[in-house]
Amino acid sequence: MIAVVGLGFVGLTTALGLAKQTGRLVYAYDSNDSLREQLCRGEVPFHEPELGAALLELLGSGLIIGETLEAAVRHADIVFYCVGTPSRPDGGANLDALTAAIVETLPLLKEGGRRTLVIKSTVPPMTTTGVVKPLLESSGHIVGDTVGLAHNPEFLREGRAWQDFIHPDRIVIGACDKLSEEQLKRLYEPFGAPMQGVSPATAEFAKLASNALLATMISFSNELAELAEVTPEIDIPQAFRLLHADGRWQGGGMAGYVYPGCGFGGYCLPKDALSLQHYSREIGRESALIGEVLAVNARAKLAFAKRVAAAAGSHGRLAVLGLAFKPGSDDVRGTPAADIIAHLLELGLTDIVAYDPLAMPRFREAYDFPIRYAGTLREALDGRDSAALVTAWPEFSCQQELLERVKVIDGRYGLGKREAARV
């Protein structure tokens, strides 16, 4: 049996994906009682295409949502940890949830056979061997002998989590011991994807590098747009479409990250770029580039808010369109919309109505802004002078006739002229 600990975006997708593709029984556990209850009712608490259908298909057959960590670990030979690793105030990754889950596991490893513990959460280099391994050793375990240990980073994108998990372009196995590597390679065989066995630190670094690269491409685009904006004859969307026409960008969707906007957000890109920057500082090689990627990102949100404030006027009646960190998702963790609304309020705009096709309930719960919310795009624009377009939802580009009635400040450069951004 496989156990999965932590049932957020990554954990639930991992639990269902492994049950589906390997045919093995997966026992999944989350410390959040109400989340477990919701999942037991067959409800996925966030928007993620295909995950709901997979849950209904596998619940009770391939997937068991367990009441305790103990029950999960007792019967499993492989335990995946998919708990959150948010940023600490100093930018480093907060590993409290991960270490707490491992510490909780320790006494359970005494009974039964050898288990392999697999860290799927995104962590800084040397966490598996420098933090988790010593924890296991402190309770008398010998890694590679009495217990297996590996880091297996996850590269799925929110909004496409199921397809990305079921059809990964690479599976990275950073095992501390040969037996764990072989066990994981066998487990992942049915996925038919290229597998790479590397050191745990390489796997940890590769994941952070992947997100830092995406963040860099976005900040590169935003910095270029800053330059281009002062030259009115440059058509910014056209210029970027010319970049995308380079055949080397075709396929795979990478070009979607080489496009300006009003800053990147979400749970992963900002925190992983911060984590890499913190790591670079810790090892005495501070990355100026990653620092600048983050600075450009902060600047992009403020510059957009200033553009909106200038266009709307301080007494302007403004609609903010889009609250999710990207279209196709209802995730509002680290969403640029929150920073932009905060800037707008600071800049004196007080009459703000916000609208998002999916993310409004989560946004209202997560952020306490003195703004109003509208039920539809039409309602959001009713009586408004201007609209700030923050998330490139297709719903907005499909209803351009509504938008034409107000002054639109387009934070996504070229509404309706390109496919919805993936970032």
Give the interface segment with ligand NAD, choosing from 95-103, 183-191, 213-221, 374-382 (CB under 6 A). Answer: 95-103
Instruction: Indicate whether 9 belongs to the interface with ligand NAD (CB under 6 A).
Output: yes
Instruction: Indicate whether 30 belongs to the interface with ligand NAD (CB under 6 A).
Output: yes
Give the interface segment with ligand NAD, choosing from 77-85, 126-134, 257-265, 392-400 (CB under 6 A). Answer: 77-85
Closer residue to ligand NAD, CB minimum distance, 132 or 312:
132
Closest CA to 94 of 130, 126, 123, 131: 123
Instruction: Indicate whether 121 belongs to the interface with ligand NAD (CB under 6 A).
Output: yes
List 267, 304, 325, 363, residue binding ligand NAD (CB under 6 A): 267
Give the interface segment with ligand NAD, choosing from 81-89, 233-241, 296-304, 336-344 (CB under 6 A). Answer: 81-89
Nearest-angstrom CA–CA distance, 231 and 200: 47
Instruction: Indicate whether 294 belongs to the interface with ligand NAD (CB under 6 A).
Output: no
Instruction: Indicate whether 345 belongs to the interface with ligand NAD (CB under 6 A).
Output: no
**Reading across the β-sheet that carries 372-373, which strands appear in turn?**
372-373, 352-355, 318-321, 386-389, 407-410
List 51, 95, 132, 158, residue binding ligand NAD (CB under 6 A): 158
Instruction: Indicate whether 162 belongs to the interface with ligand NAD (CB under 6 A).
Output: no
Closer residue to ligand NAD, CB minimum distance, 154 or 223:
154
Give the interface segment with ligand NAD, choosing from 31-39, 58-66, 124-132, 392-400 (CB under 6 A). Answer: 31-39
Q: Are the beta carbons of 298 and 115 closer than 8 angstroms?
A: no
Closest CA to 45 of 269, 330, 326: 330
List 3, 11, 79, 386, residue binding ligand NAD (CB under 6 A): 11
Instruction: Indicate whether 174 belongs to the interface with ligand NAD (CB under 6 A).
Output: no
Give me the least distance between CB of 188 and ligand NAD, in Å please.
16
Instruction: Indicate whether 118 belongs to the interface with ligand NAD (CB under 6 A).
Output: no
Q: Which residue is nearest to ligand NAD (CB)?
A: 8
Amino acid identity of 172? V
Instruction: Indicate whether 209 belongs to the interface with ligand NAD (CB under 6 A).
Output: no
Closer residue to ligand NAD, CB minimum distance, 9 or 413:
9
Instruction: Indicate whether 32 belongs to the interface with ligand NAD (CB under 6 A).
Output: yes
Give me the least distance between CB of 147 and ligand NAD, in Å please.
18
Give the interface segment with ligand NAD, choosing from 8-16, 194-202, 249-257, 287-295 (CB under 6 A). Answer: 8-16
Instruction: Indicate whether 212 belongs to the interface with ligand NAD (CB under 6 A).
Output: no
Return the HEC string of the chain: CEEEECCCHHHHHHHHHHHHHHCCCEEEECCCHHHHHHHHCCCCCCCCCCHHHHHHHHECCCEEECCCHHHHHHHCCEEEECCCCCECCCCCECCHHHHHHHHHHHHHHHCCCCEEEEECCCCCCCHHHHHHHHHHHHCCCCECCCEEEEECCCCCCCCCHHHHHHCCCCEEEEECCHHHHHHHHHHHHHHCCCEEEECHHHHHHHHHHHHHHHHHHHHHHHHHHHHHHCCCCCCHHHHHHHHHCCHHHCCCCHHHHCCCCCCCCCCCHHHHHHHHHHHHHHCCCCCHHHHHHHHHHHHHHHHHHHHHHHHHCCCCCEEEECCCCCCCCCCCCCCHHHHHHHHHHHCCCCCEEEECCCCHHHHHHHCCCCCEECCCHHHHHCCCCEEEECCCCHHHHCCHHHHCCCEEEECCCCCCCCCCCCC
Closer residue to ligand NAD, CB minimum distance, 256 or 316:
256
Instruction: Indicate whether 166 belongs to the interface with ligand NAD (CB under 6 A).
Output: no
How many residues bind ligand NAD (CB under 6 A)? The answer is: 26
Give me the least distance between CB of 370 and ligand NAD, in Å please.
27
Q: Are the beta carbons of 362 and 331 closer than 8 angstroms?
A: yes
List 4, 10, 217, 337, residue binding ligand NAD (CB under 6 A): 10
Give me the least distance between CB of 84 and ligand NAD, in Å please.
4
Residues assigned a catalytic role: 268
Give me the least distance between CB of 13 and ligand NAD, in Å please.
8
Residues in contact with ligand NAD by CB under 6 A are 5-11, 29-32, 35, 82-85, 97, 100-101, 121-122, 154, 156, 158, 267-268
